[in-house]
Amino acid sequence: MIKLIRQVGPAIIVAAVVLGPGSITTSTKVGAAFGYKMIWLLFVLLALLIGVASLASWLGATLEKSLCRELSDRLGPWAGWVIGIAFFLIVAGFQSSNNMAVIAGIEPLLGENTKLSKIPIIAILIGVNSGIIAILYFAKDLYKQVERIMKGMILLMIGAFVINLCFAKPSITGVAKGMLIPDYSPFQNSEHLILLMGLIATTFSVAGAFYQGYLVREKGWGPDDVKAGFRDTVFGMCVLVGVTSIIMMTSAAVFFGKVDPKELSDAGKMSAQLKNTFKGGASWIFCFGFLAGAFSSFLVNAMIGGHVFSDGLGLGSALKSKSARAFTTLALIIGMLIGVASLVTEVDRGSPIKDGGAVSNVEDEPTANQKKRGFDRTSTIVMAQASTVVGGPAVVAGLLFLGWRQFFREKRKPPLWTLILTSIAMILTLLIATTTAKKVVDSVKKIVQT
């Protein structure tokens, strides 16, 4: 495994950003809610991810210019602007969640009932963001440094979650049935559908797949490296879905039929439940894996937003360009400020752990004045979700336009299977966008009413 990871690069970075706190939490909830029944869905998503990321990799390695520049040249500057702005809004909106996820992964490691006060949390967030900004500006070869860091994070995640799986001792029969016999019944329940759409949205990252087209260029791969790009993509996407399935199987073995999935909302609560079951250090190991996911998503999420935004505006298509670094820094600062503002003005958080380590569903209710003074995180999340409604379909549509154009007009053609899988992925992306749009409208109504 270590030898293989040394030989690949771009797709490992994509896997590292997708395997963030949201993906870990959602796959845990799905395992707790449905047991092993939905493992098959991950392998459907794997096929689509390989198709989309392989097409992006092929285009990145063979086209003369970067993806946004190619789209702008052929459709007009607006095409690059749409994708660049959509990427940046998604990143800036959700970067605050990555900030708080770092804290969620640290707190359980400090003690069963430890809840950091606001000043230490703010100091940690400032330190983490400052460290990442220093890497952006002082690393001699930024791509190589990021690739090296992400490989380390992936190895840490694999080690942590495999150990948890060994503790959990999943049912081999249950896992086999979940892989080989698709169960569509959960999709018929509206409440279950929302959870499953969350799994699809956090695992099937079209933004990450699109960015593969940039990473192969940063790696220095060209037309002669198409096969290497394909192997890299398959391996990286298999790591992504493999780790996600390991988390889901662990959750199915430990939580299914015993814990309400709604209680598994962050690393602290998941860790507390694992401690009840394993009676040992497995909950700490889980937190180390969760932290690795938080840090990897933290860095690359901002990098994707800044890099593609810079290229979409025509200011620089290289990761080391001044504009790409500046916009990445801006995304980091915005995410940190939103997280800090939310923390400073929120009501004191209730401890998720009761006596004996059980998860508590009871939190202190804020007063009316506190609610009025508090910073409304919901508005920011709604804005980020709204950008995905446009961003997701726009990203896939851009890949399809460039791919089919090459297929029908040029001698060097992308593999037909990548175009077919990406076309299927477009349908799924539109479905996700439609569902998200409905959620955004409902959320906006609530915000307006309050």
* Confidence bin at 372 (pLDDT 50/70/90): very low
* 74 pLDDT above the threshold of 60: yes
Instruction: Tell which residue, 20, 67, 148, 18, has the closest CA to residue 310.
Output: 67
pLDDT tens per residue across span 396-436: 999 999 999 999 988 889 999 999 999 999 998 888 888 77
Measured distance CA(398)–CA(308) in Å, rounded: 13
Q: Which domain holds residue 109?
A: 2-347+367-449
**pLDDT grade, residue 286 (50/70/90)?**
confident
CB 40 within 8 A of CB 195: no
Band of residue 390 on the pLDDT scale cut at 50, 70, 90? low
136 against 344, higher pLDDT: 136
* Confidence band, pLDDT 50/70/90 cuts, at residue 105: confident
240-276: pLDDT as tens digits: 999 999 999 999 998 888 888 877 766 777 776 676 6
pLDDT at 56 over 90: yes
Share of the chain above pLDDT 70, in %: 82
Rounded to whole angstroms, the maximal C-alpha distance in the chain is 68
Q: How far apart are the C-alpha atoms of 301 and 87, rounded to whole Å?
A: 10
* Per-residue pLDDT at 326: 92
Token pair for residue 358?
Answer: 């059980």
**77-110 helix and 67-75 helix, angle to the nearest 10 degrees:** 150
Residue range 86-109: mean pLDDT, rounded: 76
Across the range 160-188, mean pLDDT stands at 89
> Can you tell me whether residue 255 is helix, strand or coil?
helix
Q: Give the confidence band of 356 by pLDDT, cuts at 50, 70, 90.
A: very low
- Put residue 337 in one of left, alpha, beta given phi > 0 → left and psi -120 to 50 → alpha: alpha
Q: Estimate to the nearest angstrom the gap between the alpha carbon of 425 and the chain centroid.
A: 17
User: Where residue 100 sits, what CATH number does that domain have?
Assistant: 1.20.1740.10
User: What CA–CA distance (Å, rounded) separates 18 from 150?
Assistant: 12
- The mean pLDDT of 308-328, rounded to a whole number, is 91
pLDDT category of residue 355 using cuts at 50, 70 and 90? very low
In this predicted model, what pLDDT tens digit does every residue of 222-242 receive, in sequence order? Answer: 999 899 889 999 999 999 999
Residue 175 has pLDDT above 70, yes or no: yes
pLDDT, residue 112, reads 60
Report helix, strand or coil for 359.
strand
Q: What pLDDT is attached to residue 389?
A: 57
The verdict on residue 325 lying in a domain is yes
Residues 376-388: what's their mean pLDDT?
A: 49
Confidence (pLDDT) at 351: 37
The pLDDT score that the predictor gives to residue 68 is: 94
31: phi then psi, degrees, rounded to nearest 5: -60, -40
How would you class 374 by CB atoms within 10 Å of its CB: exposed for 0-12, middle for 13-18, buried for 19 or more?
Answer: middle
Q: Evaluate whether residue 206 is within a structural domain.
A: yes
Indicate if the pLDDT at residue 375 is higher than 60. no
The pTM score is: 0.84
Is the separation of the CB atoms in 298 and 128 below 8 Å? yes
Residue 55, in any domain of the structure: yes
Task: State residue 280's pLDDT score.
Answer: 61
Domain count, the chain: 1
How many whole angstroms separate alpha carbon 229 and alpha carbon 233? 6
Considering the domain boundaries, does residue 362 fall inside one?
no
Tell me the average pLDDT across 128-134: 89
How far is 162 from 284, CA to CA, in rounded Å?
13
In this model, does residue 385 exceed pLDDT 70? Answer: no
Answer whether residue 165 is part of any domain.
yes
**Taking 70 as the threshold, does the pLDDT of residue 86 lie above it?**
yes
Instruction: Give the pair of three-digit tokens for residue 114.
Output: 């430890």
Residue 354 lies in a domain: no
Does residue 259 sit in helix, strand or coil? coil
Question: Residue 4: pLDDT band by 50, 70, 90 thresholds?
Answer: low
Q: How buried is residue 3: exposed, middle or buried, by Cβ count under 10 Å (0-12/13-18/19+)?
A: exposed
Q: What is the pLDDT of residue 285?
A: 82
How confident is the model at residue 350, as a pLDDT? 42
Contacts of 107 (CB under 8 A, 6+ apart): 114, 115, 116, 267, 268
| Residue pointed to by tokens 């963001």 | 129
Q: How far is Cα 235 from Cα 227, in angstroms, rounded to an integer?
A: 12
Mean pLDDT is lowest, of 1-10, 140-149, 184-193, 252-261, for 1-10
Q: Is 326 within a domain? A: yes
Return the top range by mean pLDDT from 34-43, 144-153, 257-266, 348-357.
34-43
- Rounded to whole angstroms, the Cα distance separating 389 from 397 reads 13
For residue 137, give both structure tokens. Answer: 């500006």
More confident position, 235 or 342? 235
Q: Note the pLDDT tens digit of each residue in 429-442.
A: 888 888 777 776 77
Residue 335 scores a pLDDT above 80 = yes
Q: How confident is the prediction for the chain on average, in pLDDT?
A: 81
Which of 20-29, 89-98, 364-373 has the lowest average pLDDT?
A: 364-373
353 belongs to a structural domain: no
Amino acid at 394: A
